[in-house]
Amino acid sequence: MSPNETEAGDMLSFVHRSLLHRNTVETEPFKSVFQSNLALQSLVDDFQYRCEILDQKVIEQSVEIDKLSAEAGGKGPSKNEIRQREKIEKLQEQLNEKLRSEVEASAAALKSATEVSDLKDLNTSQQATISNLREENARVEKNITHLNSKLADAESVARLAEKQYMGLKDTIRSLQEENDELKKVNHELVKRTVTEKEGMVDQINKMNEMVEKLQKEVDMLKALQKQEDRRPGWLRKRMVIASPTKEESTSKDEEKDNHSRRWGAMGVICPSEPKHIIQAHPQEATAVKYDGTGTDLVATASSDSNVKIWDTSNGQVRATLRGGNGHPMLGVDISGGLAVGCGSDKTCRVWNLRTQRMIHQLAGHSHKITCVRLFHTEKEIITGSADRSLKVWDITRSTYRQTTTLRHSSTSNSVDVSSDAMTSVSGHMDGGIRFWDVRSGERTLDIQSLHQGGVTSVQFSPNNSTQILTNGRDSTLKLVDMRTCATLQVFQHPEFRTLLNYASCSLSPDGMYAAAGSTSTGDVFVWKVSDGSVEKKMKAHETGVCGLAWGSGGTSGQQVATVDRNGVLVLWA
């Protein structure tokens, strides 16, 4: 059979089944009506039959009456006739009653037929409705079938897309891993290349500096000799090689007496116990510095962006000088009527202590300023920054002026100025210290690799401008002679650690002691300069010490101050 014939046969079978189902559904409501109609029809037929019998009887009775009447021949009705007539009348009444019943039954049958017709019409309309609903249902089922087909196709496409997505994810993951591996290799290559280049640059710089040193040594000595002729200073002292004469010893004793008067009535006092323990700042205190003019003031800087001035006689705060909000203060200095503070906001602020107002905000560095120092004349300031430069600022006028920029190849963590304000020294992250002529901006000396780690603090000796005290990340303090570049003394202890780039140290005003705080244990160490032995080890801090300063003592005689990572200031007695 062809596909068309098969399809036609299926259609006829479907129509036949539909008709059978329709007949079953349509005849079901009329079964009771049909049965009642059959019962009525049977009753009518029975009545009709009985009426016919009665009619036959009536006719027979009428014939018999007529016959009797004829036989009577004009005589009056007999009793039998009368009985027959009564019987006939009775039968007639019965017949009439039956006829009425039949008429009523016919009327009921007609009514039933009418009701059946109405029900047929209702059934026809309902069948039409059912047919429409079936057609609608067929269309809906067809749509559902079509939608199911589309849904199946969509699910198939979705599964295919999911497989492709998972494949892309795997590809991206492998590419990401490959990219990470390449980044790691590239980082290692860049790091190795940078290290090699830095090594080559350092070697070239060392060679160039060595050549420059050798070439300029004679000229530098001549220039230094001229400076020696123009002013007293450390160069005059470096020319003294022979033992001092009696007159020179007397002069030195007088000079020591002058220094003793400058340090206060009690002279230099080696600290032994805390006099005041003050919660100076809510956050880490980064630096501490005594007033260079010998007053009873000490300044502290903190990560809370503030600089505070304290009275060493009673431990009370005298002034709170606010810096940039959210920018830690990294360095501080105080001298006479001025206080300076530098921080991570790339600026250095200058305050008038009498009015407690900021008079300058020095801007010019491109990175955070890590250290600052006031010149003894209070007319100039030198700052060091992570942008690998030192800058000298003139603050004598209402508008500050940048006078000199000293450039180098490593970040400076600390800076100090000689008593004659002609020479500056800076300590750097590469472990070396550099000396500068602050007027010309030239580097006059470079002592490389003094410490294994970075240099965190430098200080000119208060009584010998040729000696420098340094602190390094290798947890050692060193006293260096700038004339010979030799290390005169090394100060260390198994429990002493320097873990911060801004950890400071200090010499006593007479140069007899060196002191620093451990950034790990919080202990404060005091060494003898003469032999490098530990004179004292003191404990007052609960956490690492960030900074230490040793001042002249003022009128109160208090000389040593330390600050720690909890913001605590300790004034030692």
One domain for residues 29 and 90: yes
SS3 assignment, position 478 = strand
Q: In whole angstroms, what is the distance from residue 198 CA to residue 204 CA?
A: 10
Q: Do residues 428 and 413 make contact, with C-beta atoms less than 8 angstroms apart?
A: yes
Domain count, the chain: 3
C-beta of residue 335 within 8 angstroms of C-beta of residue 291: yes
Task: Show Cβ contacts of residue 256 under 8 Å, excluding neighbours closer than 6 positions.
Answer: 510
| Domain membership flag for residue 170 | no
* pLDDT over 70 percentage in the chain: 88
* 142 and 210 assigned to the same domain: no
The pair phi, psi for residue 231, each rounded to 5°, is: -145, 155
Which pLDDT value is given to residue 71? 67
SS3 call for 454 = coil
Q: What is the CA radius of gyration of the chain?
A: 62
- Asked if the model's pLDDT at residue 200 lies above 60, the reply is yes
**Does some domain include residue 244?**
no
User: Between 446 and 191, whose confidence is greater?
Assistant: 446
Residue 51 in tokens: 């009426």
Residues 320 and 229 in one domain: no
- DSSP state at residue 402: E
Among 11-20, 274-283, 439-448, name the one with the lowest average pLDDT: 11-20
Say if 108 falls within a structural domain.
yes
Percent of the chain at pLDDT exceeding 90? 53
Q: Which residue has the tokens 């002013």?
A: 231
Q: Which residue has the tokens 């060392």?
A: 206
> Positive or negative, the Cα torsion across 105, 106, 111, 112?
positive
CA 527 to each of CA 272, 419, 506: distance values in angstroms, whole numbers, following the listed order: 13, 24, 11
281 lies in some domain: yes
452-498 per-position pLDDT tens digit: 989 999 999 999 999 999 999 999 999 999 999 999 999 999 999 99
Among residues 102, 127, 149, the one where a domain terminates is 149
Is 245 contained in some domain?
no
Residue 111 has pLDDT above 80, yes or no: yes
- CATH number for position 38: 1.10.287
Mean pLDDT of all residues in 140-165:
92
What letter represents residue 313's amino acid?
S
pLDDT tier for residue 236 given thresholds of 50, 70 and 90: very low
- pLDDT at res. 78: 65
Distances (CA, A) of 400 to 276, 355, 372, 383, 393: 37, 19, 15, 14, 7
The CATH number for 562's domain is 2.130.10.10
Q: How far apart are the first and last CA of the chain?
A: 122
Q: For 402-433, what is each residue's pLDDT tens digit?
A: 999 999 999 999 999 999 999 999 999 999 99
213 in the same domain as 144: no
Judge if 226 and 277 occupy the same domain: no
196 inside domain: no
Domain boundary among 149, 169, 184: 149
Of 123, 149, 175, which residue constitutes the final position of a domain?
149
The yes-or-no verdict on residue 345 having pLDDT over 90 is yes
- What is the pairing mode between strands 568-572 and 560-564? antiparallel
Tokens coding 452: 């294994």
User: Do 333 and 471 reside in the same domain of the chain?
Assistant: yes
Chain segment 486-545, per-residue pLDDT in tens: 999 999 999 999 999 999 999 999 999 999 999 999 999 999 999 999 999 999 999 999
Over range 106-126, report the average pLDDT: 82
Domain that holds residue 212: 206-237
Q: What would the two tokens of residue 30 be?
A: 């009329």
Please say whether the beta carbons of 435 and 427 come within 8 A. Answer: no
**Lowest-pLDDT choice from 128-142, 224-238, 244-258:** 244-258
Task: With beta carbons less than 8 A apart as the criterion, state whether 388 and 374 touch.
Answer: no
> What is the amino acid identity at position 474?
D
Asked if 214 and 263 sit in the same domain, the reply is no
The predicted pLDDT at position 4 comes to 62
Q: Is 521 among the domain residues?
A: yes
In sequence order, the β-bridge partners of residue 428 are 412
Same domain, 368 and 431: yes
Establish if 183 belongs to a structural domain: no
Of the pLDDT bands very low, low, confident and very high (cuts 50, 70, 90), residue 228 is: low
219 and 283 fall within a common domain: no
Could you tell me if 563 and 497 lie in one domain?
Answer: yes
Token code pair at residue 538: 């003191």
| Residue, of 4 and 439, whose pLDDT is higher | 439
Do 230 and 261 belong together in one domain?
A: no
Question: Using CA of residue 353, residue 357, residue 360, residue 364, what is the dihedral sign?
Answer: positive
Q: Please indicate, yes or no, whether residues 225 and 343 belong to a single structural domain of this protein.
A: no
Average pLDDT of span 12-38: 75
101 vs 275, residue with greater confidence = 275
